[in-house]
Structure 1
Amino acid sequence: MRIALLAPLPPEQNGIADYAGHLKHALENLGVQVDTPLQGIGNDPRQAEKRVEDTDWSGIDLVHAELGGGRLAEFQALRALRKRFPDLPLTATVHDPERLVWRREKLPWPLSIASGMRSPLPEIATVLADPLCLHEERQLARSMTRLVTLTRAGGQSLRQRMGLKESQMAVISHGNLAIEPAPLPPLQPLRLLYFGFIYRGKGIEDLLDALARVFVTQPELRSQVRLTLAGGSEPEMAFGPSGSYLDQLRLRIRQLGLSDLIDWQLDLPADQIATVIQAHHVMVLPYRESSKLKILGKLRGTSGALSWATACGRGVITSDARSFAEEVSHGNGMIYPQGDVAALASALSRICTAPDKAIQWAENAMQMGKARVWSQTAERFRDVFRQACEVD
């Protein structure tokens, strides 16, 4: 089988590029030939359309795309392909259901006039243009042969919002690397870990505030807990109009009196990620859903960081954002209401006072990890691809 993969790929630093890189490698290990016709263009929808026009598609059995992360190049390429080849099998992993892309490349005139104006006019224009964006998403989604989501909740929300048939849907859990199991470190001190890209909107402030609240009510726990903030800190993510986000986090840590309890592991090399995760007991993901996106729909994706916890055999405490509740329903962690600092503090207090919970969470996560290794995940994708090629 020869497929074309439309996706960002390493060395681009984002979760979808990592995902696509692992999927490509695992499919090739199964004997699938994988072409990457969009490689090198970045997130440029116009360049994507030109690549579609310039590429020889005659030997391609199926085209598979990775959609999400605010990218539009793959979406536009799929639209161009469907227009040019009505019968070509097209599939995609939708990382951010219940929508495919959530926004258009450009606002239509006259709403486009608001693009350069002061807030909130651009945001209002985006909302007013959303029916057109949703129409374009539905038009493409309904023409797709198969759409893959990482969770059942994501699949249900995508199917309902896009108006899809059950036969178009497939659920394949987020793949993960085959990581050699490692025992938990000694339970004293309890080592908590935030892992992921470090930028605004990840709820990291909630985690810091919750930890400080735990020590106010239970000061005896202060000597029994440490928190590591680890992950990518690319300048385009960590800097914004209000300055350096990392500097703001460090200031907040000092103000909360946590400086002696926080460790940093920024911009981890890929070959050190598993070692860092397994040096901790529990990963904490305090994500909040974007208030802007709530106007446009419900985000029901999952998380690459959560997949890393599973791969490394570590439990998680996470908010109920996205589809996290489904991913932490296997006895591998605890859920709390997103944005509820008191509830997060309570969850942290429970694991700190009963650290043995981390042992059971880790065992269950390890079993999940074994079932989700990329070699098996790629086999599930290959089955979906074969079925898609058989559709009349």
Structure 2
Amino acid sequence: MVAGSDRIRVAMPHGPAPVERDGVSDYVAHLVRALDDAGVTVVPVPVRPADGRSPLRWLTGTARAAERVRHLGADLVHVQFAPSAYRFSGMPGLLPLRLPRSLPLVTTVHEYGGWAVPGWLPGPLWSLLERARLWDRETGRLVPASAAVIVTNDGHAGVVRARTGVATAHVPLAPNVADHAGATTAGRRLRAEIGLPGGAPLLVFFGFVHPVKGIRHLIGALPALRRAHPDLRLLVAGGFTSQALPEAEARAFRDELTALTHRHGVADAVTFTGYLTPERASAALHAADVVVLPFTAGVTLKSGALLAALAHGRPTVVTAPDGGGDELHRSGAVAVVPERRDSAALAATVGRVLADPVLRRRLAERGRTLAAGYAWPRVAAAHRDLYRRLLGRRDG
């Protein structure tokens, strides 16, 4: 712990959703605690839309957040940006226009490469604006005005550099759920709670439930898997409602998945938990024989849920992104499904892992080793060192 006057003070604007509804808010909560231990005081500043349904309510909320930042007396501002965190409003991208230019600005882009506001502006014009560092199609003035841009993965770094010429700092994620004391015992109790017969295999999906997470295809894989493992069960451990999936859409998607379990004749084999506390989520991971993350765009190390599964020592099955993946897929720490959106391919890969205890043990060991390099103290130290460089402070 670094005392009083030596501590860096950071204002951290972020999306307004609570941690149980937004992965970036959950990330911020973890980061604030880790930075406190590293000698950095963070004041979170949620950017909340004003009341009502006015199209300007996010503009009002952004102005209010800027006003609060100006009165905090912070050493720098660090914005956590993801379009979904702000319900795809471009207004938070105006934040730099309302802040003192003397206050160093840092932006972390958690999602990047698939959005533009306004969407009708032609690509060549966006390119002119971005190369001139005037405006960024996804973050408005945030990336162009930042003294440093942080990315969590190489893919985002490449897109930012190609569009804007900005060199980024790569600070990876860390597990979004810690391995809680007593979770192994709690995991055994959870298996009993869902009526799992002794020795029956349990598959676990962990994370926010959303159409892009591939749950439809995982449910579709269960009939084939149950032919070899009649008592097999699937636990879908995570909430449906999120910033990316508002409540009405979340209810409709849960109803769709429930109907899908009946259509495939596996309704008795699937349990949807809803949002879990960190302790309960840790127990769910320990309960798993295999964690399955069949994301429709593939899984990379920018997934906190993936890192949590690996840190818990769970054999994990993932889909690969376009381009062959990253360090994760070269590590041998996961079993990779050769096709995305493919229930038969999922069933084949999961079935191979279930049938091979030596493979499961090897995946678990390599997964723990890989996850050990992605820890919150390391994430916090990387942020602190970046802040010090920007502020011209020496280590100490």
TM-score over 0.5 (shorter chain): yes
SS in 1 for 2:169: strand
1:256 Cα offset (Å): 0.9
Among 82, 86, 89, the residue aligned to 1:68: 82
Tell me how far 1:18 sits from its aligned partner: 0.2
Distance 1:348 1:30, change over 3 A: same
- Partner of 2:84, secondary structure, is coil
Q: How many residue pairs get matched?
A: 354
Partner of 1:233: 240
Give 3-state SS (helix, strand or coil) of 1:244's partner: helix
Q: Distance in 2 between matches of 1:242 and 1:28?
A: 35
1:66-85 Cα distance to aligned partner (Å, 9 max, x none):
11142349974564325643
Given the two structures, how large is their TM-score scaled by the length of structure 1? 0.77
- Distance in 1 (CA, whole Å) between partners of 2:374 and 2:340 is 26
Q: 1:38 aligns with which of 23, 43, 46?
A: 46
Amino acid of the structure 2 residue aligned with 1:378: A
Establish whether residue 194 from structure 1 lines up as the match of residue 205 from structure 2: yes
Query: Displacement, 1:35?
Result: 1.9
**Structure 1: how far apart are the matches of 2:370 and 2:286?**
16
Once residues 32 and 242 of structure 1 are traced to their aligned partners in structure 2, the CA distance between those partners, rounded to angstroms, is: 37
Instruction: In structure 1, give the amino acid aligned to 2:275.
Output: D
1:149-228 to 2 correspondences below 5 Å = 149-165=151-167, 169-176=168-175, 178-180=178-180, 188-215=199-226, 219-223=227-231, 225-228=232-235
Distance 2:250 2:291 in 1: 28
CA contact under 8 A between 1:7 and 1:17: conserved in structure 2?
yes
Match of 1:103 in 2: 116
* Pair 1:388-2:390 in alignment: yes
Superposed CA offset, 1:124-144 (max 9, x none): xx3556666674316642332
Match of 2:334 in 1: 333
- Matched residues in 2 for 1:83 and 1:68: separation? 19
Distance apart, 1:40 and its partner CA: 5.1
Cross-structure match for 1:245: 253
User: One-letter code of the match for 2:45?
Assistant: P
Which amino acid in the other structure matches residue 321 of structure 1? P
Partner Cα separation in structure 1 for residue 156 and residue 300 of structure 2: 5
Task: Structure 2: give runs of 5+ residues left out of the alignment.
Answer: 1-7, 51-56, 130-134, 192-197
Q: For residues 210 and 320 of structure 2, what CA distance do their matches in structure 1 show?
A: 19
Q: Deviations over 1:52-77 (max 9, x none)?
A: 14543573221111111423499745
15-24 or 205-214, which deviates more: 205-214
Q: Which amino acid aligns with 1:303?
A: S
1:178–1:374 contact (8 Å) kept in structure 2: no
Retained in 2: the 8 A contact 1:172–1:380? yes
Deviates more, 1:49-58 or 1:182-191: 182-191
Number of the residue aligned with 1:137: 136
Gaps of 5+ in 1: 108-125, 291-298
Instruction: After TM superposition, list the pairs within 5 Å mapping 1:15-26 onto structure 2.
Output: 15-26=23-34
Percent same amino acid at aligned positions?
24
Cα separation, 2, equivalents of 1:90 and 1:235 = 28
Is the Cα–Cα contact under 8 Å of residues 13 and 79 in structure 2 kept in the other structure?
yes
- Residues 232 and 268 in structure 1, CA contact (< 8 A), matched pair in contact too: yes
Q: Distance in 2 between matches of 1:280 and 1:11?
A: 27
What residue is the counterpart of 1:47 in the other structure?
61
Displacement of 1:37 in angstroms is 3.4
Alpha-carbon offset, residue 207 of structure 1: 0.9
Which residue number in structure 1 is paired with residue 100 of structure 2? 85
| 1:315–1:151 distance in 2 versus 1, CA, 3 Å | farther
Q: Distance in 1 between matches of 2:276 and 2:125?
A: 41
- The residue that corresponds to 2:362 in the other structure is 360
Q: Is the 8 A contact 1:28 1:34 kept in 2?
A: yes
Task: Quickly say closer, same or farther: Cα 1:45–1:333, change in 2 above 3 A.
Answer: farther
> Structure 1 residues 206-215 or 378-387, which shifts more?
206-215
- State the Cα distance separating 1:209 from its structure 2 match: 1.3
User: Which residue identity lines up with residue 261 of structure 1 in the other structure?
Assistant: A
Alpha-carbon shift at residue 188 of structure 1 (Å): 3.8
1:254 CA displacement? 1.5
Which amino acid in the other structure matches residue 369 of structure 2?
A: Q
Is the alpha carbon distance of 1:188 and 1:326 closer, same or farther for their aligned partners in structure 2, counting shifts above 3 Å?
Answer: farther
Give 1:16 shift. 0.6
Deviation of the 1:371 alpha carbon? 2.8
The DSSP-based 3-state class of the residue aligned with 1:37 is strand
Structure 1 counterpart of 2:173, one-letter code = H
Cα gap change, 1:369 to 1:240, in 2 (>3 Å)? same
Residues 261-276 of structure 1 mapped to structure 2, 5 A cutoff: 261-276=269-284
For 1:11, which of 18, 22, 29 is the aligned residue?
18
Letter in 1 for 2:61: Q
Letter in 1 for 2:273: Q
1:332-360: CA deviation from partner (whole Å, max 9, x where unpaired): 21223322333222211211221432222
Q: For 1:149 and 1:384, how far apart are their aligned partners in 2?
A: 13
Q: Secondary structure at the match of 1:48?
A: helix
Q: Which residue pairs with 1:318 in the alignment?
A: 318
Mapped contact 2:317–2:349 kept (Cα < 8 A): yes
Once residues 69 and 382 of structure 2 are traced to their aligned partners in structure 1, the CA distance between those partners, rounded to angstroms, is 28
Quote the offset at 1:164 in angstroms. Answer: 1.6
Is 1:287 the counterpart of 2:295? The answer is yes
Q: Tell me the amino acid that sits aligned with residue 202 of structure 1.
A: K
SS of the residue 2:317 aligns to: strand
Give me the TM-score of the superposition, normalised by structure 2.
0.77
Gap change, CA 1:154 and 1:85, over 3 Å in 2: same
**Per the alignment, do residues 242 and 193 of structure 1 end up closer, same or farther by CA in structure 2, a change over 3 Å counting?**
closer
